[in-house]
Amino acid sequence: MTPVGGTLRARLETRDNAVGFVRLALAGLVILGHAFPLGGFEPVRWGPFVHGGLHGAAVEGFFVLSGYLVLASGVRSGPAPFLWRRFLRIYPAYVAAVISTAFVFAPLGAALESGARWNAASAASYVFGSLDLKPSQDGIRDTLLSVPWSGVWNGSLWTLFYEACAYAGVAIVCAIPAVRARLRSVVTISTSLLTLAYVVLPEGAITSAVPGSAGSIADTGLRLWTCFAWGMLAYVWGDRIRLTRAVGVSAASVFLLAVHVSGMPVGIGHLVAVPSLAVTVLAAACLLTTRIGSSTDLSYGVYLFGFPVQQMLVIMGIHELGWAPAVFGCLAVTLPIAWASWHLIEQPALRLRGVVPAAKIVRAA
């Protein structure tokens, strides 16, 4: 089939792409996946596929897209403006989500849940322990006592620390002239090494070799950073990549098989799943024609607020109606909150980008 719209980079550098829609769809998949453990549902069987949602894959897809877009931003600006813009994009809304979880969702949940009681000191500790993007406590004391996933008010926030680490890595790479001059080679080698480590190393291997928080962080982040690196790889080779709908559909099929085939060795599954997911997500972003999400980006707000909304709805008993009402009910409540987050927090924060002017840098290959 003939490629549509030129190279990958040519498609994604214009506004004629579906990046916003893909991110929103991935955020919806996170809600779908979380509905099963939050509601206490058994996995659903669809033909040969048995799973409780693709929320893990959706998060990986976010990191693929982020790797592509963030590296593209990094090569266009100096480290200071780059990091400032990244900060504005994720931190203000993150803090709003943390504060609203502690001082809005938790007390409301405690008022609705039998035997629960909101604790102001625990709520304050929750907020201050989350300001470094690495929450030190999962919930608010004496709340979420009777729900299937007890004690956890927002299980989605943990990935943002690893996202921020990836941003720091991009800033360092783009700040070194010798590396920028060889960006394609550096990213290709780095992606290969990360993928090799992800495929070969058993879970917990880095923690065993490097005791302490550094080893634990590296162990947890390896999967996400590998996906991020594949997005970066797609960017540096994007002027030579031409995707077709057939390629995108084939990649999606391979990915679904890789994550559902029982008995496949873990390493082989990783080796197949990550590249096929990267191709799937990027093909969808550059080939789909929808403009949903192009001007109003609700995906981050859906990701930030979906989990506490789901816990609130479970307290109210929505899970008793089944997993589908739980999913659509959560989307119905979360989308307006995400709209408010975009218009009242995220978009106004992004208007401060000019506080740190972008440096004029010659574009890297």
Q: Both tokens of residue 83? A: 């990091």
Range of the domain at 253: 8-45+55-355
Task: Kindly state whether residue 119 falls inside one of the protein's structural domains.
Answer: yes
Q: What angle do CA 3, 227, 240 make, to 5 degrees?
A: 30
Note the helical H segments in the chain: 8-12, 19-39, 55-74, 79-100, 106-112, 120-128, 159-175, 177-180, 183-200, 205-209, 213-236, 245-260, 266-287, 299-315, 323-341, 347-350
Give the whole-angstrom CA distance, residue 99 versus residue 56.
Answer: 25
Q: What angle do CA 185, 202, 226 make, to 5 degrees?
A: 30
> What pLDDT is recorded for position 46?
64
Task: Kindly state whether residue 360 falls inside one of the protein's structural domains.
Answer: no
Residue by residue, pLDDT tens for the chain (365 residues) are: 334 458 898 888 887 889 999 999 999 999 999 999 999 988 776 665 556 567 888 999 999 999 999 999 999 888 899 999 999 999 999 999 999 999 999 999 999 998 999 999 999 999 999 999 999 899 999 999 999 999 999 999 999 999 999 999 999 999 999 998 999 999 999 999 999 999 998 888 888 888 888 889 999 999 999 999 999 999 999 999 899 899 999 999 998 888 777 666 777 778 898 999 999 999 999 998 888 877 889 999 999 999 999 999 999 999 999 989 999 999 999 999 999 999 999 999 999 988 888 765 545 44
Number of residues assigned to the chain: 365
Long-range residue pairs from 10-16, CB within 8 A, at least 24 positions apart, any chain: 10/239, 11/286, 11/287, 12/68, 12/69, 12/72, 12/238, 12/282, 12/285, 12/286, 13/72, 15/294
> What pLDDT is recorded for position 2?
38
Q: Are 239 and 9 in contact (CB under 8 A)?
A: yes
Q: Both tokens of residue 94? A: 């993150």
Task: Kindly state whether residue 128 falls inside one of the protein's structural domains.
Answer: yes
Closest CA to 364 of 76, 136, 144, 133: 76
> What pLDDT is recorded for position 263?
64
Task: Kindly state whether residue 279 falls inside one of the protein's structural domains.
Answer: yes
Q: Is 16 helix (H, G, I), strand (E, B) or coil?
A: coil
Task: Kindly state whether residue 145 falls inside one of the protein's structural domains.
Answer: yes
Task: Kindly state whether residue 101 falls inside one of the protein's structural domains.
Answer: yes
**Count of domains in the chain?**
1
Task: Kindly state whether residue 50 falls inside one of the protein's structural domains.
Answer: no
Angle between helices 266-287 and 19-39 (to 10 degrees): 130
> What pLDDT is recorded for position 209?
87
Task: Kindly state whether residue 361 falls inside one of the protein's structural domains.
Answer: no
> What pLDDT is recorded for position 359?
65
pTM of the model: 0.92
Q: Both tokens of residue 310? A: 């789901």
